[in-house]
Amino acid sequence: DTAVSQTPKYLVTQMGNDKSIKCEQNLGHDTMYWYKQDSKKFLKIMFSYNNKELIINETVPNRFSPKSPDKAHLNLHINSLELGDSAVYFCASSQETGVNQPQHFGDGTRLSIL
Amino acid sequence: AQKVTQAQTEISVVEKEDVTLDCVYETRDTTYYLFWYKQPPSGELVFLIRRNSFDEQNEISGRYSWNFQKSTSSFNFTITASQVVDSAVYFCALISSTSYGKLTFGQGTILTVHP
């Protein structure tokens, strides 16, 4: 059973389009995250939600809008895609928003903008 | 502000060699956790270890060992008798008590183990 699952695994689309990435966790965790990994492998947090409430919004352009319909899901919608949005996006979850909570990551979604 | 530095961008070794990956961190908080994650060529991120700021005991798990030294703000990772399957990108990361769960990652070290 996959603990944190993201769909799709690969997403190829054109500049200007709107796309969504879905994330679901079956670990019963309260907190979920989105991270972006750029072409140099650098990983940076974008958002975190705790029990459907936004906790962290790390100065991400407002073209990116996370949506958490329930605490097991955190979807990422991106409007007006730009070339610089090409990256791997990772969803993660942890038991709580605590300093000692390991985050469990999904397998990533590779987004390529043409 | 928090920062994690992995100065070694790439390391290349031959199978069975020992290899140490360096990690230096900065935080003003006294309560924090340090993590190591592995990213194999298949791309997923695999949690390896977590260590809290109050526990400086070294840890060994099979061929993996970790050396935490608060005096030098370092949390180094050693693989003994490396194997080809250890080839991956390794990330050191930090969460502090005031970061609301935000993981700050180092730049990653690409480890290549040659047969």
CA pair distance B91, B22, nearest whole angstrom: 10
* Token code pair at residue A59: 């100065």
CA pair distance B71, B53, nearest whole angstrom: 11
Q: Which chain B positions have a beta carbon within 8 Å of A50's beta carbon?
A: 101
Q: Do B108 and A48 touch (CB under 8 A)?
A: no
CA atoms within 13 A on the CB side of B58: 10
pLDDT at residue A80 above 70? yes
Chains A & B: contacts with CB separation below 8 Å: 71
CA atoms within 13 A on the CB side of B106: 30
pLDDT: which is higher, B98 or A87: A87
Q: Do B107 and A41 touch (CB under 8 A)?
A: yes
Q: Which residue has the tokens 């972006």?
A: A36
Query: Which residue among A88, A96, A103 places its CB closest to the CB of B103?
Result: A103
Task: Give tens-digit pLDDT for A23-78.
Answer: 999 999 999 999 999 999 999 999 999 888 888 888 788 999 999 999 899 999 99
Looking at residue B77, its amino acid is: F
Q: Which chain B positions have a beta carbon within 8 Å of A101's beta carbon?
A: 95, 101
Task: Give tens-digit pLDDT for A82-101.
Answer: 999 999 999 999 987 776 78
Nearest CA of chain A to the CA of B115: how many Å? 25
Task: Give tens-digit pLDDT for B4-34.
Answer: 999 999 999 999 999 999 999 999 999 999 9
Query: Which residue among A41, A48, A97 places its CB closest to the CB of B89?
Result: A41
Nearest CA of chain B to the CA of A85: how many Å? 18
CA nearest B77: which of B89, B64, B88? B64
Looking at residue A89, its amino acid is: Y
At B78, is the pLDDT very low, low, confident or very high (cuts 50, 70, 90)?
very high
At A1, is the pLDDT very low, low, confident or very high (cuts 50, 70, 90)?
low
Phi, psi of A85 (to 5 degrees): -80, -10
CA pair distance B49, B59, nearest whole angstrom: 9
